[in-house]
Structure 1
């Protein structure tokens, strides 16, 4: 039971981390696109 809980914790951490990375990538992509559009 404790092992399952720890596994779940690890999964949640990884999930949270991956979401943060995706959000960061999306923000970077959007800001790059905006800069590119402004340069045109």
Structure 2
């Protein structure tokens, strides 16, 4: 499922939905950014 972008209907946390993080990218590349953005949002 790597690279599949989450959509708003999949029940993901708001930070993930708003950023459009994909399974391949959020861990190694955007992990800290996603965590920070989710905390802010």
- Fold shared by both chains (TM-score > 0.5): no
Asked which structure has the greater CA Rg, the reply is: 1
Q: Which has the higher contact order (CA 8 A, sep 6+)?
A: 2
